[in-house]
Amino acid sequence: MHGTLSLAKYSLGVGDRFAHQAKPQLQACRMAAEQGVEVIPVWNKSNREHTLIGSTPADTRAAADEAVRELGWSKPYYVDADHINLGTVDKFVEACDFFTIDVADLIGRPCAAAALQAFVKAHPELRGELRIPGVARRFDIGQEFLAQVANKYLAAVEEAGRIYRRLEAKKGKGQFITEVSMDETDSPQTPAELLIILVAVAAEGIPIQTIAPKFTGRFDKGVDYAGDLAKFTEEFANDVAVIAFAVRNYGMSGNLKLSVHSGSDKFSLYGPIHRILEKFDAGVHLKTAGTTWLEELIGLAEAGGEGLDLAKEVYAEAYAQREDLCAPYAAVINIDPARLPAPQWVARWSSEQFVSALRHDPNCPAYNPSFRQLLHVGFKVAARMGNRYLRLLSVMETTIAKNVTANLFDRHLKPLFIGE
Ligand SMILES: [Zn+2]
């Protein structure tokens, strides 16, 4: 048994569909460390993803442990049971030491009247004009708003408490990191709502170190942010201020920070977030998982020969099955069918053509966000190819690793944590 696990200020949630890229992912964190910025890697994978691929949490753990050993990484690292609930948590208990408790499904489910009354009564300090240091406008939380927000979220927070306590009983207090996520829901939470949620989480006794609200705007898979950047920036800054306030006033973990479930590659947010973190001396956890799978495809395509052929085959299959592949992600993808090149056309592409359509370089005229998003959700096709796909990952390891590391370091770590 070691002491209480405490997540560092900066951390990066990486994902690896086929458990082959842990090393090049960790290498990106090592490069940040060489520049004097500690970014702690967290390998996250959801139950849905494990099910689609046929992998287990133990596979993720083994890949992470091996990468850490081989690169001689001496700082902490974690394996995150991403988006678990009471029904799915058990199979993650052993392999994971980070748990993202997803209670979004319970948002809006009314809670018991007695619990609601008790909560409102216990928190008279929230009512009326509330000054949060760092927030320009005062919150004006009336009795009615407080009751309405509590009624919307209390049942979800109570469920998070049940899941947390089950984990605590199995793993021991302080032996894992707890995140609560509410991002997979319809409407974003305002900073005032976030404050009420945090107060409820504190009252429920869940020692969260990260919280993932839903932010304003679209966080589509694998492409940049779409929304009102100024509005996001203000909301994010206010959320950071609210968290600092909750830490001071409600005894929450001193390292509590926002977790951004980015859906990968929200490049235009990194600069504004970096400046806010500097201003508030705050930390952040960034989940950008799916980006790595696309770098695998880029690496295969760039290597040419069989690699390029296989990447084209993945696209052709994904194109043929696009309706099925897209259905589970309907709310978080935005594909323009008219922009999807016909597979017969792609079949004639060179490595460079395939790579430049797929690689997320917003300044490249050949970059095609629809092509990219379809492939983002197309990992199931590669999963079905089984060893035919996995073998080429090994054969073309060098080209792939180079892309995985450069993508994470240059396009994510640098702008967000280092500030370049
Ligand atoms: Zn999420």
Q: What's the gap in Å between 46 CA and the centre of ligand 1?
A: 9
Neighbours of 394 (CB within 10 A): 9
- Percent of the chain with pLDDT strictly greater than 70: 100
Residue 355 CA, distance from chain mean position: 25
Residue 309: how many CB atoms within 10 A of its CB?
Answer: 14
* H or E element at residue 302: helix 291-303
Q: How far apart are CA 172 and CA 101, in angstroms?
A: 17
Output b/e per residue, 68-78; b: 16+ Cβ within 10 A.
beeeebeebbb
Question: What is the distance in A from the centroid of ligand 1 to the CA of 83?
Answer: 7
DSSP code for 80: E
Overall pTM > 0.75: yes
Query: Regarding beta strands 128-130 and 139-141, do their DSSP bridges make them parallel or antiparallel, or are they unpaired?
Result: antiparallel
Q: What is the pLDDT of residues 80-105, one digit of tens each?
A: 999 999 999 999 999 999 999 999 99
Output the pLDDT for position 1.
47
236 neighbors 277 (Cβ within 8 angstroms): no
Q: What is the pLDDT of residues 101-155, one digit of tens each?
A: 999 999 999 999 999 999 999 999 999 899 999 999 999 998 999 999 999 999 9
Residue labelled with tokens 């090592």: 30
Q: Which of 64-73, 131-140, 291-300 has the lowest mean pLDDT?
A: 131-140
Q: How far apart are the CA of 300 and the centre of ligand 1, in A?
A: 28
- Taking only the tens place, the pLDDT of each residue in 386-397 is 999 999 999 999
Q: Where residue 296 falls among pLDDT bands split at 50, 70, 90?
A: very high
φ, ψ (nearest 5 deg) of residue 101: -85, 115
Cβ atoms of 216 and 188 closer than 8 Å: yes
Ligand 1 centroid to residue 358 C-alpha, Å: 23
| CA gap 374, 335 in Å, rounded | 7
Residue 352 Cα to ligand 1 midpoint, Å, equals 33
- Kindly give the distance from the C-alpha atom of residue 397 to the centroid of ligand 1, in angstroms, as a whole number: 29
Q: State the average pLDDT for the chain.
A: 96
At 153, list the tokens: 């979220």
* Cβ atoms of residues 258 and 212 within 8 Å: yes
Number of alpha carbons in the 13 Å side-chain half-sphere of residue 69: 6
Q: What is the pLDDT of residue 2?
A: 57
* % of residues, the chain, pLDDT over 90: 95
Tokens of 374: 């379809």
> Rg of the chain over CA atoms, in angstroms?
22
Residue 125 per-residue DSSP state: G
Gap from CA of 198 to ligand 1 centroid (Å): 18
pLDDT of the residue at 24: 98
Burial bucket for residue 91 (CB in 10 Å: 0-12, 13-18, 19+): middle
Q: CA-CA distance, 16 to 64, in Å (whole number)?
A: 10
pLDDT at 340 over 70: yes
Residue 312 CA to residue 294 CA, distance in Å, equals 13
Task: List pLDDT tens digits, range 1-58.
Answer: 457 999 999 999 999 999 999 999 999 999 999 999 999 999 999 999 999 899 999 9
Please tell me the distance from the alpha carbon of residue 388 to that of residue 328, in angstroms, as a whole number.
25
Distance 189 CA to ligand 1 centre (A): 14
- d(C-alpha 196, C-alpha 256), whole Å: 15
Task: Extract the tokens encoding 311.
Answer: 């990447």
How many Å from the N-terminal Cα to the C-terminal Cα in the chain? 39
pLDDT in tens, 343-366: 999 999 999 999 999 999 999 999
Query: How many angstroms is it from 48 CA to the middle of ligand 1?
Result: 12
Identify the CA nearest to 253 among candidates 212, 208, 213. 208
Q: How far is the CA of 183 from the centre of ligand 1 (A)?
A: 6
- Single-letter amino acid code for the residue at 343: P
- From the CA of 259, how far away is ligand 1's center (Å)? 9
**Amino acid type, 249:** N
pLDDT higher than threshold 90 for residue 186 = no
Distance 388 CA to ligand 1 centre (A): 30
